[in-house]
Amino acid sequence: MCLLYDDYLVYILTTTKAAANSPEEFNPEKAAEAVKEVAKKIKDTSKAVRDTVSTFTASGAITEMAEASRDAAVAARDTTRNITDTTREMQKSGVIAETAKAMDETIGEASKAADEAIKMPKQVEKSAPETTKAAKKGAKAIAKTSKKVQNQARKAVKKESTKAKKYAHRKMKQAKSASKRWGSR
């Protein structure tokens, strides 16, 4: 309502100023007429506002908005209470503490399993020393052969001839088959 009043005040001032700037002198009758016109507009606007409020009230829109706001607030409150209750129940039942403890124990057992797995090769070496020696000897032979073949293949590839490429391919196959033979023993 204040905004409307300010608008009407600007209208009065503008009207009286325009009258004062005209060639004729300021006319009090014109100013009074402008004030009457503003008063009529204020009455009309007030009636329109009153009618709008009455329509809103009669339609139930304001009541519905208030009820919807209340329902939203109650739902938020109830949800918060449910979350609080659930959290308290979880704390009382010890579910979180048991879960953390189980995770801690799992990590400990996994660490023990890893330690045992590390001991296995040592046990094989102690239990089957001949097999271990044969496996080590085969692995060294494979490594030695692989290095020789690799060097030969590099030299052949450098020549970039078809024959050299075939030779390198054949040597790689030999190294692979030697690797398979020693791995199956």
DSSP assignment of 156-185, as one string? HHHHT-HHHHHHHHHHHHHHHHHHHHHHH-
| CA 106/CA 97 separation, integer angstroms | 14
pLDDT at 117: 76
pLDDT at 1: 41
For residue range 67-96, list pLDDT tens digits in order.
999 999 999 999 999 999 988 888 888 888
In contact, 77 and 40? CB cutoff 8 Å: no
Residue 174: what residue type? Answer: Q
Please state the rounded mean pLDDT for residues 28-35.
85
Going by C-alpha positions, the residue among 180, 102, 99 that lies closest to residue 145 is 180
For residue range 137-181, list pLDDT tens digits in order.
777 877 777 777 777 766 655 655 565 556 666 767 776 666 666
pLDDT at 44: 93
Tally of CA atoms within 13 A in the half-sphere of 142 that contains its CB:
17
For residue 167, what are the contacts with CB-CB under 8 A and spacing of at least 6?
A: 152, 153, 156
Going by C-alpha positions, the residue among 41, 19, 14 that lies closest to residue 30 is 19
